[in-house]
Amino acid sequence: MDLARLPNDKKLQLCRWYFKVGCLLLPFVWAVNAIWFFKEAFMKPPYDEQKQIKKYVLMSAVGAIAWIAVFAIWITVFQLQRVSWGATGDALSFIVPLGRA
Amino acid sequence: MTLAEFFSCSLLAFGAPLVMFAFTVANDPVRIIIMIAAAFGWLLSFLLSSLVWYAVVPLRSYLAFGMVFAIIFQEIFRYGMYVLLRKTEAGLKEISENHNIGSNKLEMAYVSGLGFGTMSGAFALINVLADSVGPGTLGLHTGTEYFFVTSAAMTLCMILLNTFWSVIFFSGFDDKNYVKVGWVIVSHFFVSGLSLLNSKELYAATILPSYIVLAITAYIAFKTAGGSARSLMQSISSRS
Amino acid sequence: MASFNFLILLLIFSFCRSGNLQRLHEKIYSSIEGGAACFRRLNGTHQTGCSSADNGAVGVVHMIKDVTDAHWLMENATAGPYMAVVSTGLFYDVFDLLFKQPDLIAGILLYDNATKSAPQFSQDMSCPNDYSAAEGSSCSAGGVVWNPKGTGLLRRDIPFPIFYLPESRSQEIDKIDECYQRYNSDKNNQKGRPLCSVQLHSFMFAAVNTEVCLRRSASSALLTPTKVCDPLGDYNVYYSLFPRTKDIKNKKVTLVTARIDTASLFDGVSPGAASSVVGMVTLLTAATTLSKMIPIQDANLYDENILWTLFNGEAFDYIGSQRVAYDISKGTWPAAAPLTVDDINLHVEIGQIGGALTKLDLAWPLYAFIPYTNVVPEINEFVNTLGSNLQHNISINTEFSSHFPPSSLHSFRRILKNETESAALPEVLITDHNAEFSNFFYNSALDGFDKIDFEYRNITVDSSGTFISTDALLANGTMKEVDTQVKIARLATAVARTMYQRVAGKPYSGNITASAHLVDEILYCFLRSQACRLIMAADYASSGGAEEKPPERAAPLYVGVATWASTPPVFAAHLLALLTGTALSANRTQCDALDVPGFSQYWLRGWNHSGVCMQTTMNISAAISPAFIIEDYDLKSGVYSTWTESVWQAMWARVFVRASGAGAGAAAAAGAGATLLAALLTYWLQRHAAIIFSNAPQHSIVNDDAASGILRTVNC
């Protein structure tokens, strides 16, 4: 879809919709939203709906980054500590590695 | 040297054709179609050659016999591509967004040759590359590790040769200049025949003459396509 | 990819590159056949044994022909991880060095060389089964170290794979040596050259210890869990002289036991000749002889019963005997007519007696370990009777010591502590050593028939199953007094007569003796080939008459995993049924339908291979450690054996030449160069195509109006 062909209110509607969908625990939708509408929000000359689009883009970006941070921390902790967690570590694992602790 | 060998040989054999594809073919859908069609044509030629090889049971172990048939079929299919492209030129020009397509008659020849060559290169080298990934190399019984490099170099040579051969071949049939066609067929036999020497590990004896033939063929193709030393000089000087 | 490769195979090499039609893969790699790999076992607290990485361990070949080669490897080697190729004769001298730098060693290829045979080769601990020893009897309490030349590798976590090649595969070693001489012999200039290398693959699924691997085998996020380890275990075999039933008040029992299993570091290679087979064969022969001395019909004339038992899994913390002792303490063994501790009035174990058997020495000194400080009359009587029944070349001397060799006595001492220590259940162990083992190949891959000087005589057995007596064989010169078979037969006769005296209360006065011919046959079955006369006769008769011949090699005596029954206890069970049982005149269906209390009936092939119904008191019981049947048992507690074996998928080894990297480097340089050149040229030619290709032949496309008409109406 080419944003250039959409009228401004449709752009706002799309950006809002993506933000709302992302609230359903979908950080990737937020990330897409932030990147896709970035040009519209910050690099195009101002127009009416741009302020609200900016707001949604920022919120999506912040949300996506927060999710990424949480995932990164959890993944790091899990990878480093799984062995020392013993039975709990195995219970949390979907695929337990063969041949090593 | 396992993955290193694999990637290096892949780069050597397919790097140049890939770059040529990226610059000249990739941005034009019609050229992509022609290239794939030519690749398929080569596949068909190979299938027929293998059927012949399979059918003639007593001569199966003689590589030279199989090779002769392979070359003959490949040239037949190159001619087939020529006929196909000349017949469908008008239609291709219509559907193409690039209105300059076909402004050089031998543009199709080049693309078709590239497709032909890439498929032949892939078939020649994929199995060798697959074996190069493992931890071992030739040497336990016969051979040296330079087998992989040599195979990749020969593959590159064949891909480029196929490209230039198509240019010369198509031009030969356009102008009814059968000397050009003859050069293509004779040099094809010559280079393939040289590769039979690989079994004796005379790698230098196969690579050097093949690349010499490549250089000559490239020059002939360049001339055929309309280039000359003078026009090359012009392009350099006109830049500055 | 498989079909693609097939297409390639069919087409490529008939056309382009190589001169002949051999696959490239076969030209590069040469598989090493016949190797036995060291695999991983786990117990309650540790993992032991070897494993390789998932894609195998690759190392540069280094032939270690003497200790200086090993020193060179440790000090001066430069070309990356090495694969040490060393013979068994040299292994004891160099293994210490090899384990010092595990990063430098990718693996070990161990081969057996007849000309440089090892003077000793044992991978068990210097104090075998020390953690399951009875209180006060472990080596740490002081006293004799039983197996001083044991490397302990059987219980050690080895960081790289080890493969073993027997003498019959010496051509594989020659292949590797030839490759080594061609590529690796210039030791100081190895870096940057193509080098002969070997890859070993023996990837083990289990890790850490038994608790973890069993937990992982049981649960999984996916629907069907992957099994990563199995508990060790198999069957114990027992046979009583007189039948025992639940209802009738049973006689007192003398328990005579021996061990049936052995261990080794390598999968599928565990001959165990001196470690366990001699003891087992002695027990089988003695049981057979006694069954002829006292017919089973005379059961009600006597007050004493003899229970001959073969324990399995003894090499791994006494799995079989721990289970039996545990079952006795719970009153569940034997299942049909359980014993209590009070029913047993003597426990005799025939321990390791095969280490000193040699044709060069007529004497065979035996020892009776008596682990009591006070005099126990039952034991004294037994040892005296045995001594008086033995010939002058076989002697027995007593050893009063609370520190006794590895044997099932340790299990009974730990589990039935009160009764055994107070001599309410007196125990005695018969061995051929009073200090260190006389067997230098204890629990190893080299403990074969040659270590007990066994020479098969191959005497036919007639269709009535009569064996030629030992005296007759000596008389006609087929055997001599120094022969292993004769010595074992003599000992078995003495044991049988001693048991007769215990049962009947008076010395044996008949002339039935154990036959060295029978000993010959049994030894052949367990040490040389499963396709032997005895097993063919004792096997289950197949219904269609089609006889499935067992393989021509000896069955490994390793206890194996509990889910897979190994062959040696089955053989021993069938032999007992055939040799000690009563032949009934019943046909097959009648035989299968019979149900007599105290007996089992088996339809065996018989000596004339036409089938016979044998009625016997023989039976088998599970030899699985109590640790796996007690609910919520703490696997780290060390009370019972907790051994498990890892699951693996494939084990293989291959040899090839490893590239020096010059080829890859050349290809990379040439590739980068060619690509760059092509990029520049293509870009330049395309950019200035109009100028460069100025003489291009122009198109005169006939504007095919029909085509353009159609195409213009279509909206693509």
User: What residues in chain C have their Cβ under 8 A from chain A's Cβ atoms?
Assistant: 51, 54, 203-208, 212, 215-216, 219-222, 226, 228
User: What are C85's strand-pairing partners?
Assistant: C63, C109
Amino acid at C95: F
Identify the H or E element spanning C584: strand C582-584
pLDDT of residue C9: 40
In the sheet that holds C47-49, the strands lie side by side as C47-49, C40-42, C644-646, C229-231
Cβ atoms within 10 Å, residue C372: 17
Distance between CA atoms of C354 and C420, rounded to whole angstroms?
Answer: 27
Distance of CA B198 to the CA centre of its chain: 19
Residue C542: pLDDT band by 50, 70, 90 thresholds?
low
Per 3-state DSSP, what percentage of chain A is helix, strand, and coil (rounded to 5)? 75, 0, 25
Distance from C-alpha of C119 to C-alpha of A37, rounded to nearest angstrom: 80
Cross-chain residue pair A95–C205, CB shorter than 8 Å: no
* Percent of chain C whose pLDDT exceeds 90: 72
Q: How far apart are CA B116 and CA B219, in angstroms?
A: 20
Higher-scoring residue by pLDDT: B28, C49? C49
Q: Is the pLDDT of residue C716 over 50?
A: no
Q: Secondary structure of chain C: what % helix, strand, coil (to 5)?
A: 35, 20, 45
Whether C663 sits inside 8 A of B149 (CB atoms) is yes
Both tokens of C367, joined, read 């020892």
Contact B200 C19 (CB under 8 A): yes
- The mean pLDDT of A68-97, rounded to a whole number, is 92
Q: Reply yes or no on whether the pLDDT at C400 is more than 60.
A: yes
pLDDT value for C15: 43
Under 8 Å between Cβ of C286 and C496: yes
CA distances from C225 to A28, A96, C41, C368 (A): 32, 10, 20, 50
User: Which tens digits make up the pLDDT trace of B128-171?
Assistant: 999 999 999 999 998 888 999 999 999 999 999 999 999 999 99
**pLDDT value for A44:** 86
The partner residues of C646 in beta bridges, in order of sequence, read C229
State the maximum Cα–Cα separation within chain C, in Å, rounded to a whole number.
125
Residue type, C35: G
Cα C357 from Cα C368, distance rounded (Å): 17
Lowest mean pLDDT: which of B93-107, C245-259, C356-370?
Answer: B93-107
For B210, the enclosing helix (H) or strand (E) is helix B203-224
pLDDT over threshold 90, residue C391: no
Q: What is the DSSP string of B54-77?
A: HH-GGGTT-HHHHHHHHHHHHHHH
Position B197 pLDDT exceeds 90: no
Evaluate whether chains C and B are touching (3 or more beta carbon pairs less than 8 Å apart): yes
CB B160 within 8 Å of CB B16: yes
Checking if the pLDDT of C279 tops 90, the result is yes
Calpha distance C356→C354 (Å, rounded) = 6
Chains that touch B (3 or more CB pairs under 8 A): C
Element spanning C253, H or E = strand C252-259
CB proximity A94 to C under 8 Å: yes
What is the predicted pLDDT for the residue at C18?
40
DSSP letter for C540, please: B
Q: What is the H or E stretch that residue A79 is in?
A: helix A50-81
Q: Which of A91, A95, A99 sits opposite C54 (nearest CB)?
A: A99
Asked if pLDDT for residue C54 goes beyond 60, the answer is yes
Indicate whether B22 pLDDT > 90: yes
Is residue B118 very low, low, confident or very high in pLDDT (cuts 50, 70, 90)?
Answer: very high
What's phi and psi for C106, nearest 5 deg?
-90, -20
**Among the ranges given (B90-99, B147-156, C89-98, C314-323), the one the predictor scored with the smallest mean pLDDT:** B90-99
Classify residue B139 as left (phi > 0), alpha (psi -120 to 50) or beta: left
Using DSSP's 3-state secondary structure scheme, residue C644 falls into strand
Q: Which residues contact C477 (CB under 8 A, 6 or more apart)?
A: none
CA angle B35, B37, B43 (to 5 degrees): 105
Contact (CB<8Å) C671/B131: no
Q: Which among C203, C219, C221 has the least Cβ separation from residue A99?
A: C203
Determine the 3-state secondary structure of C601 from DSSP: strand
Q: Inspect the interface and report whether the beta carbons of B15 and C674 lie closer than 8 Å.
A: yes
Each residue of A8-28: pLDDT tens digit? 888 999 999 999 999 999 999
**Average pLDDT for C109-116:** 90
- B137 forms beta bridges with C657
For residue C323, give the H/E element and its range.
helix C319-330
Q: What is the mean pLDDT of residues C529-543?
A: 83
Among C5, C682, C697, the residue with its CB nearest the CB of B20 is: C682
Nearest CA in chain C to B153: C667
- Residues on chain C touching B140 (C-beta within 8 angstroms): 27-30, 179, 196, 655-657
Query: pTM of the full predicted structure?
Result: 0.89
Q: Is A93 on the interface with C (CB under 8 A)?
A: yes
Report the distance separating Cα B200 and Cα B63, nearest Å.
14
User: What average pLDDT does this structure show over C359-384?
Assistant: 92
- C181-190 long-range contacts, Cβ below 8 Å, gap at least 24? C183/B139, C183/C657, C184/C60, C184/C61, C184/C62, C187/C72, C187/C76, C187/C77, C188/C76, C190/C60, C190/C77, C190/C78, C190/C79
Spatial distance between the Cα atoms of C185 and C654, rounded to a whole number of angstroms = 20
- Touch of C by A (3+ CB pairs closer than 8 Å): yes
Of the CA atoms within 13 Å of residue A65, those in its CB half-sphere come to: 8
> Are B136 and C655 spatial neighbours (Cβ–Cβ below 8 Å)?
no
**Closest residue on chain B to C654 (Cα):** B136
Give Cα separations from C11 to B55, B159, C1, C15, C596 (angstroms).
13, 18, 15, 7, 70
Chain C closest CA to A71's CA: distance in Å?
21
- C50 versus A95: the higher-pLDDT residue is C50
- The reply to whether C20 touches chain B by the CB within 8 Å rule is yes
Tell whether A62 is within 8 A of chain C (Cβ).
Answer: no
User: Are C221 and A100 within 8 A, CB to CB?
Assistant: no
C102 preceded by a cis bond (ω within 30 of 0): no
CB contact under 8 A, B149 and C10: no
Task: Tell me the pLDDT band of C220, cut-offs 50, 70 and 90.
Answer: low
Cβ-Cβ contacts under 8 Å, C658 against chain B: 1, 135-137
**Residue ranges covered by each domain of chain A:** 7-85
Which structure tokens are listed for C14? 């008939």
Indicate whether C709 pLDDT > 80: no
Q: Which of C15, C21, C660, C713 is best to mutate for the B interface (most B CBs within 10 A)?
A: C15
- Average pLDDT of chain C is 89
How high is the pLDDT of residue C11? Answer: 45
Q: What is the pLDDT of residue C5?
A: 45
Residues of C in contact with B111 (CB under 8 A): none
Alpha carbons C525 and C571: distance in angstroms, whole number: 9
Residue C666 corresponds to which tokens in the numbers above?
């050349």
Cα atoms found within 13 Å of the Cα of residue A2, Cβ hemisphere only: 2
CB C674 within 8 A of CB C65: no
3-state DSSP assignment of residue C200: strand
Under a CB-based contact definition with an 8 Å cutoff, are residues C699 and B102 in contact? yes
Check residues B156 and B92 and name the one with the higher pLDDT. Answer: B156
Residue C705's pLDDT is 53
Is C497 in contact with C508 (CB distance < 8 Å)?
yes
Determine whether the interchain pair A94/C221 forms a contact, defined as Cβ–Cβ distance below 8 Å.
yes
pLDDT over 90 at A40, yes or no = no
Q: Which of C293, C486, C212, C49 is nearest to A101 (CA)?
A: C212
Q: Collect all residues of chain A within an 8 Å Cβ-Cβ radius of residue C54.
A: 98-99
3-state SS of C685-710 is HHHCHHHHCCCCCECCCCCCHHHHHH
* Shortest alpha-carbon distance between residue B158 and chain C (Å): 11
Q: Is A96 on the interface with C (CB under 8 A)?
A: yes
B173-177, C232-236, C428-432: least confident range: B173-177
Q: Walk across the sheet containing C57-64 and list its strands.
A: C30-31, C648-658, C195-204, C57-64, C82-87, C105-111, C162-165, C36-37
Nearest to B146 by CA among B73, B86, B198: B198
Indicate the pLDDT class of residue C712, thresholds 50, 70 and 90: low
Of the candidates C256, C235, C252, the residue with the CA atom closest to the CA atom of residue C244: C252
Structure tokens at C446: 């080299």
Sheet with C233-240, edge to edge strand ranges: C394-400, C364-370, C427-431, C344-350, C252-259, C304-311, C233-240, C619-624
Res C52: pLDDT: 95
Q: Report residue A81 CA to chain centroid gap.
A: 26
Checking if the pLDDT of A95 tops 90, the result is: no
Residue C150 scores a pLDDT above 90: yes
Nearest to B208, CA basis, from B221, B220, B223, B195: B195
Q: Does residue C666 have a pLDDT over 70?
A: yes
Average pLDDT score over chain A: 91
Nearest CA among B16, B46, B4, B36 for reference residue B155: B16
Reading the block at residue C482, the tokens are 């120094």
Secondary structure of residue C340 in the 3-state scheme: coil
Burial of residue C5 (number of CB atoms within 10 Å: 0-12, 13-18, 19+): middle
Write out pLDDT tens, residues C566-623.
Answer: 999 999 999 999 999 999 998 889 998 988 888 999 999 888 888 899 999 999 999 9
Which pLDDT score is estimated for C10?
A: 43
Is residue C318 within 8 A of residue C132, CB to CB? The reply is yes
C-alpha distances in Å from residue C301, one per residue of C242, C287, C308: 11, 19, 20
Average pLDDT, chain B: 88
